[in-house]
A and B are shown apart, each in its own frame.
Chain A
Amino acid sequence: NAGVTQTPKFQVLKTGQSMTLQCAQDMNHNSMYWYRQDPGMGLRLIYYSASEGTTDKGEVPNGYNVSRLNKREFSLRLESAAPSQTSVYFCASSDIGGHSNQPQHFGDGTRLSIL
């Protein structure tokens, strides 16, 4: 069972470089999410997509863009990476977003370091 798959698992960038983090889920979920996790802080929502064709900002969207390519795939792009974006990034999906009580299923993360 693949569940939620993220690529790459590790990446080192220089300040100012761009890159795209990829996420795909095979559970036919409608909603997908991107989070970042920093030491001493909870996961913080960057962007989410409640359904195919829609995206919305989360708690910390600045410096990021997203694309919901199709129902399966949701990518996160850093246009000009900054050291403050060094973090662990998690993609997640759930059956129904918004106010439902459905939990989210997470990918195993991308560790991103920006020098």
Chain B
Amino acid sequence: RKEVEQDPGPFNVPEGATVAFNCTYSNSASQSFFWYRQDCRKEPKLLMSVYSSGNEDGRFTAQLNRASQYISLLIRDSKLSDSATYLCVVKPGDMRFGAGTRLTVKP
């Protein structure tokens, strides 16, 4: 079993849609959690950290469920510019990356 598992997608959604990505992790000792965004042939960039109480940054909402070892990312009112691969990252010590979920937002 992979340490961090994500649905690879692709998710194809129209502009304005709401889309949710899920991520599960296996190491219960994990303490820090992040969502990164990676554009095609580019480096990963931090989208947001994930806090225990859940957190929001504009159209993006991240949730953490430690009991179920589950992280989610919700994107509201999708824009064309949201098209990218979203990486779930878990930090039991080192950073462990999911393989990513690919999102395409279409006009």
Binding site for B on A (CB under 8 A): 33, 35, 40-45, 48, 58-59, 90, 98-101, 103-109
- Name 20 interchain pairs, CB-CB below 8 A, sorted by A: A35-B97, A42-B4, A42-B87, A42-B96, A42-B97, A42-B99, A43-B44, A59-B94, A99-B31, A99-B32, A99-B93, A101-B31, A101-B32, A101-B49, A104-B46, A104-B95, A106-B44, A108-B42, A108-B43, A109-B42
Interface of A is mostly: loop
Cβ-closest chain B residue relative to A98? B93
Residues A45 and B31 in contact in the complex (CB < 8 Å), given A90-B44, A103-B46, A107-B43:
no
Which residues in chain B, 7-32, are within 8 Å of chain A measured between CB atoms?
8, 31-32
Q: Is the beta-carbon distance between B95 and A40 smaller than 8 angstroms?
A: no
Cβ-closest chain A residue relative to B45? A106
**Number of chain B interface residues as a range:** 20 to 34
Q: Is the beta-carbon distance between A109 and B43 smaller than 8 angstroms?
A: yes
Cβ-closest chain A residue relative to B98? A42
B71 to chain A, nearest CB (A): 14
Q: Is the beta-carbon distance between A101 and B91 smaller than 8 angstroms?
A: yes
Cβ-closest chain B residue relative to A44? B97
CA A99 to CA B95, docked complex, whole Å: 9
A2 to chain B, nearest CB (A): 13
CB contacts (< 8 Å) of B43 on chain A: these are: 90, 106-109
A63 to chain B, nearest CB (A): 19
CB contacts (< 8 Å) of A59 on chain B: these are: 94
CB contacts (< 8 Å) of B31 on chain A: these are: 99, 101
Q: Is the beta-carbon distance between A45 and B94 smaller than 8 angstroms?
A: yes
Q: Is the beta-carbon distance between A100 and B32 smaller than 8 angstroms?
A: yes
Cβ-closest chain A residue relative to B48? A103
